[in-house]
Amino acid sequence: MFFQFNENETLPGALSCYHKYTSNDLLYSTSPIDNTLLARVSCINAEQYEKFVQIAQENFLKWRNIPAPQRGIFVKRFGQEVQNKKGELAQLITLEMGKPIRESLGEVQEIIDICDFAVGLSRQLYGLTIQSERPEHKMIENWHPLGLVGIITAFNFPMAVWAWNSTISWVCGNVNIWKPSEKTPLCALALHKIVSNLVREMNLPDISFVFTGDYKIGEQLSLDKRIQLISATGSTRMGRQVARNVASRLGKYLLELGGNNAIIITESADFNLVIPSVVFGAIGTAGQRCTSTRRLIIQESIYERVKEALVHAYKQVKIGDPNDEQYHYGPLIDENAVILYEKSIQSAVFHGGKLLYGGKRIESSELKSKNYVLPTLIEVEKDNPIVQEETFAPILYLLKYKTIQEAIEINNQVAQGLSSAIMTLNLRESELFTSQNGSDCGIANINIGTSGAEIGGAFGGEKDTGGGRESGSDSWKNYMRRQTTTINYGINLPLAQGIKFEI
C-alpha cells in the first residue's frame, strides 16, 4: 500500500516512521481491532520544532504571494490524489482508528468534498465596499492571510477534520502545522506523504508540517506567538487549556470541542425516520463522534413505544471486525475508552438509572481484542448527573417530557452545545426548535439525527463546545485577517464625525 513507510524514511516537514528504533521518544500506533502494533513513530524534539517553524515562516512569505486561484489549483490536485487513493486511505483509518470501513470511506469523501469547496472559494475571497460619511471617500474591506495555522485534531476523525481546516487555510494563503492525535499518527503521515509528493511535483514550498508527539506539542504550539491561529478539536478540558494559552498571548483560536447531543421525539414524529436516525446517531463510529446522539428526549405518550422499538433494534446490531461491511460498528479506540464506558454505566445506574440493554464488554473468541462493547440503553431522569457528561461510547440515555417547552429545556440543560435534533411533523414545534427560544446548539436539525454534517455548512457549537466554526459557509474568515481601508479620491481632507482641525 502507498502508506507503508520504509524504515528511516524521512518526509519533508514531518517526523519519520520507524519499525525499529531505540529512542524512548516514540508513539506506538496500535490497532484497536486486535491490539496489533502497527508502527513506532518518532516524536518531534525541541531542535526539530524550531527548525520546522522557521521553515514554515519562510515558506509562508512565498505562499502568500501566489494568487489564491493558483493556490486553489494545488488544493484541486490534492483532492484528486486523495480520490485516487480513497480505498487505501479508508483502510488505514479503519486499521488505526477502528471505525467501520463504510464510515472510513465517508471520511475520505469528506476530504474530497472540502477540496471542491475550497477550490471554489479560492476565486471568491470577497471583501466589502462601504459607503463613507465623507464626500469623495470610500471604504473597502480587505482580507489577508494570517501566517502559520496550528491544527490539533482528535483520533475519531483522524483525516477529515485536518482537511476541513487545512484546505481552506491553504487557499487563504497560510501554511499549516498539524499536531495529530497520538493515537492515529499513521493517518496523518499518510496524508502528509501525498502533500509532500505534490509540492515537489508542482515546485511549491512546503506548506504543510506534521508534528508528532503527545499533548505537550499542542501546548507548545498554543503558546508560540508565531502561530497566528490555533484550531483545536477535542475535549472541552483540552480546549480550555488551549484557550488559556492562546489568550495569554492575545492570539486567535478556533475550538470545536465536546458534544452532548439530544434528539427530541414528538408525538407527530414519522416513526419510519425515528429509529434509523437514533440508532445511527447513537452507535455510529461506536459512539465516538462529537455529534453522537447521547440523549433521547421522548414525549411521554409515546415513550413506551419508542423504548420497545429501540430495544428491538439494538438486539439486531452486529458488532465485529470493522473491515467486514456486515458489522455496524467495531471496537472502541482503546482500553481506557472501555473503562470510561463501564464507569459511566455504573454512575448512571447508581443515581437511579435503569439499564434497558447492553452495558458490558463483548467476550468472544472471534474478537481479537477486549475493546468491543455492547450498545447500551439506559432510562434516566433529567436530574441524573450522568446526562451532563459526554462519554465517547455507544451509550444512549432515555428521558421523558410532557410539553415541547420542557423538551427544549432538557435539551439545553447541559453544558455542551454542539448538535441537536427534533423529529416532528408539526410546523410550530419545528419552528420553535430553531427559533431564539429553541435549541441553544450550533446545529439544530429537523427530521434527521444529530450525527453527520455536510461540508457546505459551518460546523461547530456553543457553550462548552467552544464557539468555533469549521468547514463551510463563511468560516474562511477565521483563517484570514480583516483590514479596513479608507480612500480619499478628492482634493479636500474632511475628518470623520465632522471634526474640524485647522492648522
Instruction: Tell me which of 2.10.109.10, 3.40.605.10, 3.40.50.300, 3.40.50.10330 is the CATH number of domain 45-257+466-483.
Output: 3.40.605.10
Predicted confidence at residue 7, as pLDDT, reads 53
Q: How high is the pLDDT of residue 383?
A: 96
Task: Tell me the domain boundaries of the chain.
Answer: 45-257+466-483, 261-458
Beta pairing partners, 471: 458
- Angle of helix 68-84 relative to helix 185-201, nearest 10 degrees, comes to 120
What is residue 6's predicted lDDT score, i.e. its pLDDT? Answer: 58
d(CA 259, CA 441): 9
d(CA 315, CA 317): 6
- Strand, coil or helix: what is 21? coil
Return the SS3 of 463. strand
- Which residues, in sequence order, are CB contacts of 486 under 8 Å at separation 6+? 132, 137, 138, 139
Residue 213's pLDDT is 95
DSSP single-letter state for residue 393? S
* Residue given cell 423504548 in the structure block: 307
Judge contact between 117 and 157, C-beta under 8 A.
Answer: no
Per-residue pLDDT of the chain (503 residues; tens, 9 = 90+): 445 555 555 554 454 333 333 345 889 999 999 999 999 999 999 999 999 999 999 999 999 999 999 999 999 999 999 999 999 999 999 999 999 999 999 999 999 999 999 999 999 999 999 999 999 999 999 999 999 999 999 999 999 999 999 999 999 999 999 999 999 999 999 999 999 999 999 999 999 999 999 999 999 999 999 999 999 999 999 999 999 999 999 999 999 999 999 999 999 999 999 999 999 999 999 999 999 999 999 999 999 999 999 999 999 999 999 999 999 999 999 999 999 999 999 999 999 999 999 999 998 888 999 999 999 999 999 999 999 999 999 999 999 999 999 999 999 999 999 999 999 999 999 999 999 999 999 999 999 999 988 999 999 999 999 999 998 899 999 999 999 999 999 999 999 998 998 88
Give the per-residue pLDDT at 1. 44
Residue 221 phi, psi dihedral angles, 5° rounding: -65, -40
> How confident is the model at residue 204, as a pLDDT?
97
Whole-number Å distance between alpha carbons of 189 and 187: 6
Q: What angle do CA 166, 154, 144 make, to 5 degrees?
A: 25
Q: In what order do the strands lie in the sheet with 129-131?
A: 129-131, 137-145, 480-488
3-state SS record for 312-339: HHHHCCCECCCCCCCCCECCCCCHHHHH
CA distance to 225, 260, 397, 404, 410, per residue, from 423 (Å): 46, 18, 17, 12, 15
Catalytic (active-site) positions: 256
| Cβ-proximal residues to 271 (8 Å cutoff; 6+ apart), any chain | 309
pLDDT of residue 18: 31
Does residue 141 come out as left (phi exceeding 0), alpha (psi in the -120 to 50 range) or beta?
beta
Instruction: State whether residue 421 is helix, strand or coil.
Output: strand
Rg of the chain over all Cα atoms, to the nearest angstrom: 25
* Residue 45 cell numbers, joined: 524534539
**CATH code for the domain defined by 261-458:** 3.40.309.10
